[in-house]
Structure 1
Amino acid sequence: MIKTLGKRAFSIFIGASVLGLAACSSAPDKEDIERVPNKSAQALYEDAKQTLDSGLYARAIELLSALDSRYPFGPYSRQVQMDLIYANYQAGNTEQALATIDRFIRLNPNHKDLDYMYYMRGLVNIKADKNAFQEYFGVDRADRDANRTRVAFQDLSTLVTRFPNSHYTPEAKKRLVWLLNKMARYELKVAEYYYEREAYLASANRGKYVVDHYSQSSYLPQALEMMEKSYEKLGLTDLAEHAKEVKQLNERK
């Protein structure tokens, strides 16, 4: 059984054009599945596994989808679904991967690999939030809506809470720190937007949101500074002074 990302080779290929990126992969249609040769479940799975291990994700998805369609209750059914999740994740088919994960969790609420499902759900939502082309060329994406990031944070938090001894929990904890900082950074970007437009109450509230919800992030000092200068603009000197004092206390820690 292959289920850890560490056992697969990761590679990122940046094409010469945007079209190259757009043509990664998509879910196989009925004709693609029908073209898969008729074989036993074992033979078909061996073909799919070899293809997947070779990094041919689009073809692996076709084979695994055919296997899932022809033998939905066979001995390989759960492993096929897990491999489909991984293949779709690698191919960038995030919606298909999420649909398969949700179906697996719904139908197998007590499965021994449920921790892997939540781990992969977190990774898929992280990937869904990314724009590989723009991030590759250094475009700042912090001002984008953070909904997918919040969902990924919830997925990995569920893993850490429900499966503290899971093989995936240490990595999930590292990613949670990164996601926390990303969400805090997003709120500060919005706060800066409001501040620049002289909407000082809105910018102060965004800074306060970071303090209230993301106090463990590395953006706490910036959030307190945003509160301080926004309150000063509003003439709320007591609140501005309090934010300044809290910031100084944190700096001394």
Structure 2
Amino acid sequence: MIFPNLILVLLSLLLFSCSTSEKSQFNVQSDSDIGMYNEAMGYISSKKYEESIEILNELELQHPYSELASRGQVMAGFAQYSLNKYDEAILTLSKFIELNPNHQLLPYALYLKGYSYYERMPDVTLDQKFSVKAYDVFSELENRYPNSSYAKKSKKHIKTLQNHLASKEMQIGKYYQKEGFLLAGIKRYKVILKDYKRTVHVPESIYRIIECYVSLGLRNQSIYLYKILNYNFPKSVWKREALDLLKEYKVNRNLKKYKKKELDLEKLDSSAFDLI
């Protein structure tokens, strides 16, 4: 669950207070948008999510232009998420996001949509479509609302997803390399360098490319990558492995000197790896 119950109740009260100054109680059956909304919030606070969804859907039908109907879409998404109905939650939240491009609840809606994908992040051996979608939504949230508290929450999820997706690329790259499809393996390892260069898998990905290049006889490229590995990860076990590999194949590491800007991963543009 994303929110403790107390925070959820406070959020519900906040949504109501923003829409009206009229005092009202939960569980008041009414055909008005205020009455229907508060009744649905009462069900949510009692964890009766199915009942809340039914009322919120009816609220949208009866009062399609009400501000509370828009807010109700977000809360319906939360209720669906709470029932583990992730696909339904994503559809509901996507509709809200599309129809309300400037709404104050957009950061929360994006976060909840991303989390509905994130909850289904599979084992690294399986297809990663949910991981990719979660990464895309959290990244959109961070880019559009960088100062939002939900963007800050998203950062740790993005970091986890980056490492997870990099691990998948590493797994596929190793498979191709083992089967002798070196160029296909190199392509996967380079995805890590280009898209996930702040993950824990970067040192090994550089080493694996060096392995492939040595096997292909591409000594200059091997030396350059070793220099990058040595500059950025001097204490890494993969740097030591790469050094031993170059010694074994009698590759002269001192054939060419490079400037720091040519070695620093933080300064290298991702397109640079296409040329290595």
Normalising by structure 1, what TM-score?
Answer: 0.75
Residue 189, structure 1, aligned to residue 171, structure 2? yes
Aligned pair count? 214
Query: 1:197 offset after TM fit, Å?
Result: 1.5
Alignment of 1:40-79 (within 5 A): 40-41=31-32, 42-79=34-71
Query: 1:184 offset after TM fit, Å?
Result: 1.0
**Equivalent position of 2:118 in the other structure:** 126
CA distance in 1, matches of 2:167, 2:121: 15
Gaps of 5+ in 2: 7-28, 236-276
**Equivalent position of 2:2 in the other structure:** 5
CA distance in 2, matches of 1:246, 1:55: 54
Letter matched to residue 40 of structure 1: D
Alignment of 1:134-153 (within 5 A): 141-153=123-135
1:214 to 196, 201, 206: 196
What CA deviation, in whole Å up to 9, does each residue of 1:63-85 have, x standing for no partner? 32233333333452022101111
CA distance in 1, matches of 2:67, 2:156: 35
CA contact (8 A) 2:135 2:161 kept: yes
Residue 164, structure 1, aligned to residue 155, structure 2? no
* Deviates further, 38-47 or 164-173: 38-47
CA distance in 1, matches of 2:159, 2:230: 23
Query: 1:44 offset after TM fit, Å?
Result: 3.5
Structure 1 runs, 4 residues or longer, greater than 4 Å off = none
Residue 100, structure 1, aligned to residue 75, structure 2? no
* TM-align CA RMSD: 2.6
CA distance in 2, matches of 1:241, 1:59: 65
Identity percentage over the alignment?
A: 25
CA distance in 1, matches of 2:66, 2:231: 61
Q: Bigger relative contact order, structure 1 or 2, given CA contacts below 8 A and separation 6+?
A: 1
* Deviates further, 39-48 or 154-163: 39-48
Larger radius of gyration: 2
**Equivalent position of 1:204 in the other structure:** 186
CA contact (8 A) 1:85 1:97 kept: yes
**Equivalent position of 2:215 in the other structure:** 233
CA contact (8 A) 1:201 1:234 kept: no
**Equivalent position of 1:13 in the other structure:** none
2:103 to 111, 115, 119: 111
CA distance in 2, matches of 1:209, 1:95: 29
2:77 to 71, 85, 88: 85
Query: CA 1:59–1:226 in 2, change beyond 3 Å: closer, same or farther?
Result: farther
Normalising by structure 2, what TM-score?
Answer: 0.69
